[in-house]
Amino acid sequence: MKQIYTKTGDEGMTSLRDGVRVSKDDPRIEANGEIDMLNSLIGLFAEKNPLLTDIQRELMVVMSHVATPDGRENPRPLHCDELTARMEQAIDAASVSTGFVLPRGIVHVARAQCRTAERRLWTVHRQHPLNESILRMMNRLSDYLFVLAKP
């Protein structure tokens, strides 16, 4: 069995794609940590929802793009626009109130985590420009999670 630890992060550094070393509190690492948490939360309720499963897979691709050093190409294609359109269709088909609701349940926790991840991505975007379809998808994902959380 291959070892899971590398010991290369013991001094507070980690690697982006292609081995570029950055501090563990680099905005790209922070954003990916928030996306990882979001993806884990979605995993708690995504089992019977093919769109959420596709979103989870795309979040992994997004993390790869966030971790791509400036000036380097990421070979993994993004499907954010397609997923955003699918979420918009689901949102438009749902009947939900647009007022404030008391958040209850894991879907609302995921929705709040999505907002945090989105804010971190905007921080990254200002310093290391991202494909804007990522930012649109994250914004729509929090709306979609709000719809899924309706009682």
List of domains in the chain: 13-69+76-92+106-148 (1.20.1200.10)
pLDDT tens digits, one per residue of 67-117: 999 989 999 999 999 999 999 999 999 877 767 777 788 999 999 999 999
DSSP 76: S
Nearest CA among 91, 111, 92 for reference residue 101: 111
pLDDT of residue 1: 62
Q: How far apart are CA 151 and CA 10, in angstroms?
A: 45
DSSP string, 50-61: HHHHHHHHHHHH
Identify whether the C-beta of residue 20 lies closer than 8 Å to the C-beta of residue 59. Answer: no
Cα separation, 29 vs 83, in Å, equals 24
